[in-house]
Amino acid sequence: MTGPRDLKALPEDQLPALARDIRSYLVSAVSQTGGHLGPNLGVVELTIGIHRVFDSPRDTIVFDTGHQAYVHKLLTGRQDFSDLRQRGGLSGYPSRTESGHDIVENTHASAGLSWAAGIAQARQLTGEGSRYTVVIVGDGALTGGMAWEALNNIAAERDERLIIVVNDNGRSYAPTIGGLARHLAGLRTAGLYERTLGWGRRFLQARGRPGRLVYGALHGLKKGIKDVLAPQALFEDLGIKYIGTVDGHNTSQVMEALVRAKSFRGPVIVHAITEKGRGYTPAETDGADRFHAVGRIHPETGLPVAAGGSQWTGVFAEELVRAARRDERIVAVTAAMLEPVGLARFAAEFPHRVFDVGIAEQHAAAAAAGMAFGGLRPVVAVYSSFMNRAFDQVMMDCALHRAPVVFALDRAGITGEDGPSHHGQWDVAVMRSVPGLRVAAPRDGRRLAELLREALAWEDGPTVVRFPKGVVPVNLPSQRRVAGVDVLAEHDGGPRVLIVAMGAMALAGVEAARVLSEQGLGSRVVDPRWVLPVSESLVELVSDCDAVVCVEDGLAASGAGEALRALLGERGITPPMRCLGLPSEFLAHAKREELLEDCGLTAAGIAAAAISTLATVPQSSSSSSG
């Protein structure tokens, strides 16, 4: 199958076999590379139906979020998943560089409806109003406030050919929570309304004229009955036509509903019920997240191919539970990601002290400020890249009010195979402008536990503890601590460079110092631990070195290294200095190690930067031994 035309030419009675083949291929392929398996197993028939009814790319298809687009890739001619999420291979999300069928690459949830509204409006104004815009929205994405802002505006545009397909599997990562989830659960009982009305019609009409009169009166009240038994009035009162519920695993039902949706002018919601992980027993029986995202697994069993070491997220989870045992004020907040950010263990032990707000990071941050005002010590656990959406609340609700909220930013720095929308490269640069905010970057598991304890003890405003994705390195001890800054290594020699190695870059900094020592160059390697605000003791450590190299896994141009440079400049201290970090660009998907090497964030890259920086030091001012 080379594209949607081939799919349309396939006899309808062959579609169930096609769905089985697609599921089999997904399990086989994704088990070799890792990726979002569960969500895609759940949208096979739904995606087939969409491509049978609509004409992509003339009709625009938007995914919210993009992790459910693997079947879409297969149906649009991308059928080699051997290098999925690897350098040079297929992205794990829609990608415009791959296909004209892909539109929205940003995988942060709840933005798809806004995109679709904008595209549909553009179609109207450019004379292309006959083209349809279809957006597939996971029910979890509807927990985000941005989705409801979009719905409010979509409802006002009565003539746009906009089809909203709600992929309702009752889950985002974990089961979907909140009032919307309860509403959608009510809509799943829509069949009860139809069955009740059908029984009433047959029963009453069989009783002659009196029965028919009673039935007529009841039928006139059907909207009231419908509101009780199938409360889709929430959407219809907005002015958006509602079709549902539909069995999302029955291609005929899906196509019938979509054809009906096309017959209306104006926006239509098609509510499809699906099962995450459908057709793969290990996923269907996984209570945590139905194999939402997996590494390499054995396809027969779903078990990991190789057991990894201790994960950063796990270390955070263990320390938070220990802290909560000591202090009953500690509560945890998550944005629909209880398991991925390590809060499942906390929830099991303290079920009344964990709050899942849905995909609503802004609400999470502002609500945490309120919790702090009420005497609690909230810890908001979220992916670094997702934290971008809550910047205003961190600034105005937490920092302005000096609320002691702890933000635990998982997946900081390079995340590897998930690509540009998931790299946590922005947080330090973004948070650097927030007055009074403290940011910690642990270098190993022991420091993560230590810094989390320090963050929880801080009473005078918000704090951030950021840590990367993956396996925790061996603990890297310090030689001594200077007013909170750890000195990790010191080598005597000729001209001496201060290597400020932050967080996950500490080990590479120590290794770079060894390389320099072998070349007769002196160095001191320090870990600030708290990278913002810049420590006064770090300024003092600069004074007896000839050059400075800062290394971090955030943006080089506006990160913690540049904050140090600015402070030194204010003090009239201007040593030759180099700030290493990530470029201000969207980095493609590849292994973490590959991307760090590309950016010069390896021992060899740091050593080379140190040598070139030392080369600018005037001979007369260089120290001989430090």
Using alpha carbons, select from 527, 515, 388 the residue that is nearest to residue 464. Answer: 388
Helices (H), 374-477: 391-393, 427-431, 445-457
Q: To which residue do tokens 């799919």 refer? A: 7
Closest CA to 426 of 435, 418, 417, 414: 414
CB-CB contact of 378 with 371 (8 Å): yes
CB 448 within 8 A of CB 319: yes
Alpha-carbon dihedral angle through residues 396, 400, 405, 406, given to the nearest 10 degrees? 80
Q: How far apart are the first and last CA of the chain?
A: 68
**Shortest CA distance to 295 belongs to which of 312, 277, 307, 284?**
307
**Would you call 316 exposed, middle or buried from its count of C-beta atoms within 10 A (0-12, 13-18, 19+)?**
buried
Half-sphere exposure of 248 (CA within 13 A, CB side): 26
Q: What is the CA radius of gyration of the chain?
A: 28
Active site residues: 276, 361, 389
Cα distances (Å, whole numbers) of residue 478 to 310, 312, 443, 467, 507: 21, 20, 11, 19, 11
CA–CA distances in Å: residue 612 to residues 430, 495, 607: 29, 12, 9
Beginning with the edge strand found earlier in the chain, give each strand of the sheet holding 162-168 in spatial order.
60-64, 133-138, 162-168, 268-273, 241-247
- Residues recorded for the chain: 626
Q: Rounded distance, CA 618 to CA 296, Å?
A: 53
Q: CA 551 to CA 505: how far, in whole Å?
A: 6
- What residues form DSSP beta bridges with 524? 490, 498
Residue 424 has which token pair?
A: 């946590």
CA distance 611 to 38: 49
Asked whether 420 and 456 are in contact (CB, 8 A), the reply is: no
Query: Cα-Cα-Cα-Cα dihedral of 292, 293, 297, 300, to 10°?
Result: 20
List C-alpha distances in Å: 241 to 196, 197, 234, 268, 542.
Answer: 22, 20, 10, 5, 66
State how far the Cα of 300 lies from the Cα of 1, in Å rounded to an integer. 26
